[in-house]
Amino acid sequence: VVYLVVFHLSFFMFVWSYWKTIFTSPASPSKEFSLSKADKEQYEKEERPEYQQEILRRAAKDLPIYTTTASRAIRYCDRCQLIKPDRCHHCSACDICVLKMDHHCPWVNNCVGFSNYKFFLLFLMYSLLYCLFVAATVLQYFIKFWTNELPNTRAKFHVLFLFFVAAMFFISILSLFSYHCWLVGKNRSTIETFRAPTFRNGPDKNGFSLGCSKNLREVFGDEKKYWLIPIFTSLGDGCNFPTRLVIMDPEQLTVPSQNDPAKSSGANQSFPTRPLSESQNRLLTSDCQWVESGPEEENVKTG
């Protein structure tokens, strides 16, 4: 009875997580990140890059954007014709901009990003447990196969095939799951691992990390009872994220002046004037605000 319950439960959670990963549509930026009709026409008519950037800076002054390109320019998608939020990237396979894009997964034929990253992690975890469960139950028959204790029938080759397939999938999924667990602990996406986001102090691959505990809550939510269930509980809206590199109270943001270099990024790019969402404020204000230490911490403390 226990065997059947564990088997059916693991299989059900595996299928549920896989289904949610496949059929959850990738989240795209909201309309506020799109240029107005007048700005769009002016941007398309303008041929000089520096004036195009001026148009984008004017349009992005009230948006919660803290990262730029490597050349300190506003991140803009010519394909979708919108200003990219932080951690947003354009997927060439889906042909849309995806919020907090991690990668496009051919195994699920979908982009893995803000809307389904939790489902993807649970899919890997339950796949891992399911393969382990199958390999463990077949192991005794696999041992009998090598000791010639199994009846000489065609079924023994099925046992051999099932064990090797379960074991190989377990090893490959274990490496992938371990890698994504490390990414969650560091609050990075796969893209950010290979290309660090650029803040006002330059590229910083740990710019969005708030400490392992808060990074985990950002993906799985505040209530632990929902962590292992494939329902959406991630914090925030996917368009803006708390970062330890921004020195200001999210509730007391004001419009920066041109003479205040501490509140500008790159080539006169202003920080947003809109406060962060309530869930992100909780991440920033609870417990110790800056958890990680390192060379970047001194730059943060000194402004």
Number of structural domains in the chain: 1
What pLDDT was estimated at residue 300?
A: 36
Contact 120, 232 (CB under 8 A): no
Q: Does the residue 233 lie in any domain?
A: yes
Q: Does the residue 15 lie in any domain?
A: yes
Burial of 140 (0-12, 13-18, 19+ CB in 10 A): exposed
CB atoms within 10 A of CB 212: 14
What 3-state class would DSSP assign to 252?
helix
CA distance 91 to 26: 10
Q: Does the residue 181 lie in any domain?
A: yes
What 3-state class would DSSP assign to 147?
coil
Q: Does the residue 37 lie in any domain?
A: no
What pLDDT was estimated at residue 265?
A: 35
Q: Does the residue 236 lie in any domain?
A: yes
What 3-state class would DSSP assign to 236?
coil
Q: Does the residue 232 lie in any domain?
A: yes
Question: Which residues of the chain carry a pLDDT beneath 70?
Answer: 1, 150, 153, 155, 246-303
What pLDDT was estimated at residue 259?
A: 39
Q: For residue 190, what are the contacts with CB-CB under 8 A and spacing of at least 6? A: 102, 103, 183
Give the catalytic positions in this structure: 105
Place of tokens 């080759």: 157
Domain that holds residue 23: 1-29+115-244
| pLDDT tens-place string over residues 153-167 | 676 778 888 888 999
| pLDDT tens-place string over residues 124-155 | 999 999 898 888 888 888 777 777 776 776 76
What 3-state class would DSSP assign to 240?
coil
Contact 283, 214 (CB under 8 A): yes
CA distance 265 to 72: 8
Q: Does the residue 148 lie in any domain?
A: yes
Burial of 67 (0-12, 13-18, 19+ CB in 10 A): buried
CA distance 13 to 2: 16
Q: Does the residue 100 lie in any domain?
A: no
